[in-house]
Structure 1
């Protein structure tokens, strides 16, 4: 891996918005599905793990929490590895780790072994796939980026629709050990997705300069750009996202066991995650299309705030569910709001920090969210063990998510919007988005074209012009036309 080329996008290379980018999008679609669906799909094995190891709900909830914490908490490490070795080798090694963790977990003799194998090793492997895939997607798409983010995010509900009933079937036929073993083999597909992440190449006319030895010279790469911490918009986003993650993943983790507690069969209860995922499949691309509209894209942060409030309100109302039919209605609305959040969360971050700083920014954001992920589901499990009532679990999740939406909306009004106005007033030249940078470059080119001709012509061209018989080429045209 040390000899692999670093796939830092060449400076000045325009995102193709298509071509091989669609293969990159497919790989990101699969990786996103595994990364987000696995912590939820593993929850179908919780009942068997509780019975075998004699533990409580809060103990099993730690499996999903550790898995998600590794997915988020290793963000800075992933940023450093990507900036040092490139996306492709990091992802292929991550695929091996993800598979190895589940295979080893199938031989576990205690819950601690599952924490280490499924939580730490598989979580690290998924992290080494998830973040680089998003970075490559950001490099390949610019104008179509909201749509690309929405389509890639749809991988999560698609995988959830497949993995949840698959896990239930594997548990029924092979037990949780056989299920873990087969899922480990399935995760080897991450290596194939990593092979799709081909680095962007500069056009022939813009090849990198070569040094004395003939080797390509690249500008020095910062392994972790900490200048994003000076950006108020980034800090507001990070705070709001951290609070949101406290409650965002609680309902999908507990909704299956909630249905089982109401007396429903295991297969019928697992169908709730399938319903949630099916709705989510259509919500994410649709939200990506809406976010890409010219009159919506500059205000994506407000649309993101609305999506979070929608999700939190759904949790609050869902706490009153008392039957299977009401849980189905809850999953429908939760799938819509959850899909909107998934489609917009990284699009807003990309718009705030830009392409160049995104690889470092996403690592720092995921690190902060890891703390919330590690605390959220286990605290809900403790609350459930203490009260025995799922209503309080959903109320807790709803309050945390709504609070994050309020923080984001207020922070946008007080800091992000003020920053944009200050940039316009002071005449700053750095736009907030890729579209803004492209527009700036276009305007500069127009101004250059309108400059006097003498600016374009050097002394040698003037001398050659005076020596030539230029008047013989006029063919009877007036002197004004020739000049």
Structure 2
């Protein structure tokens, strides 16, 4: 059965798994909340934007779609900036961009202006915060990483529970323009979260006993450390990473569709605006408990190497909920739909990046997440708008949820089946993978075209047989003893050798 290689957090700096790690986790909690909840919460303003600019559902859906596309599509850019400047400076600049976009959008005179300000500028700012926060979380946690991912992912439903009713109140009190302006001020908190991302101090070099330390006269220069690659494309040579990327790209086609259209669907059924917006809060409330619970389960000893299959189960649950929820015809059924979709979102959110960290490891994660988000960007960009076009043509929300459910279920099947078929066993490190007393590297040498080099002190089955053959012949025994005597004579006498 295909087991993923669990990353042990081995890197130049050991993950502390405590102390300042919890401050980093809190910052990642806030950033994740803004990044994922904001595109959903902004859908509260869609009805007023439709009346203001005389556009359709598909046109307003592009706002959330562009936000998510920038969050995903700028992944390689974020990876390059993080590898070049570090996480903290990138996040501080990102917080300014996120706030600036919403402030400028409050002065928009057409839907295109909102696309550029809210979608592009704010989306870029959130991307510059989201990806570095995950990278820092991966550096600060190792043993407790699944739980930390679950807790950080809980920021999304918590923010959704707050931002959705807040957006509704802001719309009533100040209109969509005033609401956008106030939300822009709230997004400045991303800068405070970025300030929490303190870089880990490199380990101090330990002094070797018995060797005198020579004073540094300033003439000797330390060897420069090799610069990390700005973007490491070698992750594509990992079959597990390729399978994950394909499945995730299919997943995001339908994953974000239900929250975007949930409020509009409730209003279509004749419910009040406040009751309709409450559905997103219900979804987020159940999501709050699902994410840390799933993160704890993923961290169990037996489950952690197989978390990719737990992720597949979560996707099947999410897609099936969409398929069944498409039959909802009243407010009560919508509430039940939101409860189950919230649980399934919690499972998916807690496992999505934990599986990626498990597949590629700590060293390549900064590049891997950027490339994954880039490949998912196209799917994110066409997902909600295509659902909006389907709604405009059919005038039925049922088909929107059916399409989303099918796409998520297909992604789960691709992930699970491909891992079962192509990832045969858990990869092992060359120095630890042994069989019959022979390491993997030794096996490769023995099967190569060049003859193997005999090691005099190698304890394997062949050396034992040679020793037995020598002991059978007395002449060979005498030869071996003479050779040892000559070697002992050649050793120079020193205080160490006299002992």
Instruction: Please classify the TM superposition score into its range, dividing by the shorter chain length.
Output: 0.7 to 0.9
- 2:363 is aligned to 356
Larger RCO (alpha carbons 8 Å, 6+ apart)? 2
Counterpart selection for 1:278 from 281, 285, 289 = 285
Deviation of 1:414 (Å): 1.6
Q: Extract unaligned runs of 5+ from structure 2.
A: 1-8, 208-215, 442-458, 460-490
- 1:379 is aligned to 386
- For residues 107 and 212 of structure 1, what CA distance do their matches in structure 2 show? 60
- 1:233 is aligned to 240
- For residues 322 and 232 of structure 1, what CA distance do their matches in structure 2 show? 44
- 1:60 is aligned to 60
- 2:150 is aligned to 150
SS at match of 2:364: helix
- For residues 215 and 130 of structure 1, what CA distance do their matches in structure 2 show? 35
- For residues 152 and 212 of structure 1, what CA distance do their matches in structure 2 show? 47
Deviation of 1:308 (Å): 0.2
- For residues 93 and 157 of structure 2, what CA distance do their matches in structure 1 show? 25
| Cα deviation code 1:383-431 (max 9, x no counterpart) | 00001100000000000000000000011112223573898689668xx
Residues 212 and 66 (structure 1), Cα distance of their counterparts in 2 relative to 1, 3 Å cut:
farther
- For residues 93 and 419 of structure 1, what CA distance do their matches in structure 2 show? 40
| Cα deviation code 1:298-340 (max 9, x no counterpart) | 1101100000000000000000000000000000010011100
- 1:393 is aligned to 400
- 1:403 is aligned to 410
Contact 2:29 2:153 in 1 (8 A): yes
| Cα deviation code 1:243-293 (max 9, x no counterpart) | 000000000000111000000000110000000000000100000000000
- For residues 90 and 466 of structure 1, what CA distance do their matches in structure 2 show? 59
Check if 1:464 corresponds to 2:495. Answer: yes
- 2:40 is aligned to 40
Deviation of 1:242 (Å): 0.3
Contact 1:107 1:177 in 2 (8 A): yes
Matches within 5 A, 1:169-180: 169-180=169-180
Check if 1:301 corresponds to 2:332. Answer: no
Matches within 5 A, 1:18-29: 18-29=18-29
Deviation of 1:220 (Å): 1.7
SS at match of 1:55: coil
Check if 1:417 corresponds to 2:448. Answer: no
- For residues 364 and 206 of structure 1, what CA distance do their matches in structure 2 show? 37
- 1:453 is aligned to none
Contact 2:11 2:362 in 1 (8 A): no
Contact 1:92 1:195 in 2 (8 A): yes
Q: Extract unaligned runs of 5+ from structure 1.
A: 1-8, 430-446, 448-459, 469-483
Deviation of 1:464 (Å): 3.4
SS at match of 2:202: coil
Deviation of 1:356 (Å): 0.4
Matches within 5 A, 1:128-139: 128-139=128-139
Task: Give the TM-score, by structure 1 length.
Answer: 0.85
Counterpart selection for 2:352 from 333, 345, 350 = 345
Deviation of 1:153 (Å): 0.2
- 1:109 is aligned to 109
Residues 307 and 10 (structure 1), Cα distance of their counterparts in 2 relative to 1, 3 Å cut:
closer
- For residues 232 and 361 of structure 2, what CA distance do their matches in structure 1 show? 12
- For residues 169 and 380 of structure 2, what CA distance do their matches in structure 1 show? 28
Contact 1:10 1:202 in 2 (8 A): no
Contact 1:10 1:201 in 2 (8 A): no
Counterpart selection for 2:273 from 263, 266, 271 = 266
SS at match of 1:99: helix
Residues 117 and 233 (structure 1), Cα distance of their counterparts in 2 relative to 1, 3 Å cut:
same
Richer in helix (by share):
1
- 1:120 is aligned to 120
- For residues 177 and 498 of structure 2, what CA distance do their matches in structure 1 show? 88
Which structure: larger Rg?
A: 2
Deviation of 1:463 (Å): 3.6
Q: CA RMSD for the aligned pairs?
A: 2.4
Residues 428 and 212 (structure 1), Cα distance of their counterparts in 2 relative to 1, 3 Å cut:
farther
Residues 206 and 251 (structure 1), Cα distance of their counterparts in 2 relative to 1, 3 Å cut:
farther
Deviation of 1:205 (Å): 2.6
Please say which of residues 282-291 and 416-425 is displaced more in the overlay.
416-425
| Cα deviation code 1:123-153 (max 9, x no counterpart) | 0000000000000000000000000000000
- 1:219 is aligned to 226
SS at match of 1:420: coil
Deviation of 1:173 (Å): 0.0
Deviation of 1:222 (Å): 0.3
- For residues 422 and 387 of structure 1, what CA distance do their matches in structure 2 show? 55
Task: Give the TM-score, by structure 2 length.
Answer: 0.83
- For residues 219 and 368 of structure 2, what CA distance do their matches in structure 1 show? 35
- 1:256 is aligned to 263
- 2:471 is aligned to none
- 1:13 is aligned to 13
Contact 1:133 1:197 in 2 (8 A): yes
- 1:334 is aligned to 341
